[in-house]
């Protein structure tokens, strides 16, 4: 059976901007921290195996299915899930709307980073995953919160 969303939860006056910003910051900060950690551990591993720094960097970016890329996307998904959940939990608006805004903030940060002068966005698959992961994961976080409240 379909459950209707009360109009009060969709009102901009009831929307929790602070919660959405905190959720977005959780998504962005968690992704940045975990992505940096994963990359540095990967670099140390390749350097420990005797590769030069250039070879180590080349090994890290060996495609979207490389272990480093897969772990980075899992970390991004987990961070965005947490951001969406937090935004839904502490916001006054509808949980899915709250979590969606958290995901949009994370996507906006990615777009700003990709448009930077030193950016190398990568393959089209990588860009699409980087845009879809925050949206889906944040909404999933809000959905899980809504189901269990």
Residue 27 lies in a domain: yes
Question: Residue 61's pLDDT is what?
Answer: 73
Residue 3 lies in a domain: no
Residue 89 lies in a domain: yes
Q: What is the DSSP string of 9-58?
A: HHSGGG--HHHHHHHHHHHHHHHHHHHHHHHHHHHHHHHHTT--HHHHHH
Residue 7 lies in a domain: no
Percent over 70 (pLDDT), the chain: 90
Residue 60 lies in a domain: yes
Residue 5 lies in a domain: no
Residue 23 lies in a domain: yes
pLDDT tens per residue, range 96-119: 999 999 999 999 999 998 888 877
Local confidence band at 18 (pLDDT 50, 70, 90 cut-offs): very high
The pLDDT of residue 1 is above 70: no
Domain coverage including residue 83: 13-148
Question: Residue 77's pLDDT is what?
Answer: 97
pTM equals: 0.85
The pLDDT of residue 121 is above 60: yes
Domain count, the chain: 1
Question: Residue 134's pLDDT is what?
Answer: 95
């Amino acid at each position: 059976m379909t459950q209707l969303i009360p109009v009060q939860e969709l009102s901009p006056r009831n929307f929790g901007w602070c919660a959405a910003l905190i959720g977005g910051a959780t998504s962005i900060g968690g992704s940045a921290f975990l992505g940096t950690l994963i990359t540095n551990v990967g670099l140390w591993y390749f350097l420990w195996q005797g590769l030069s720094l250039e070879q180590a960097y080349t090994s890290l970016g060996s495609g979207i299915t490389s272990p480093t890329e897969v772990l980075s996307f899992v970390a991004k998904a987990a961070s965005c899930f947490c951001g969406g959940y937090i935004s839904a939990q502490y916001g006054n608006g509808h949980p899915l709307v709250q979590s969606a805004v958290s995901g949009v903030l994370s996507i906006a940060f990615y777009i700003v980073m990709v448009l930077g002068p030193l950016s190398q966005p990568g393959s089209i698959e990588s860009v699409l995953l980087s845009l879809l992961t925050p949206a889906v994961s944040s909404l999933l976080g809000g959905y899980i919160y809504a189901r269990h409240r």
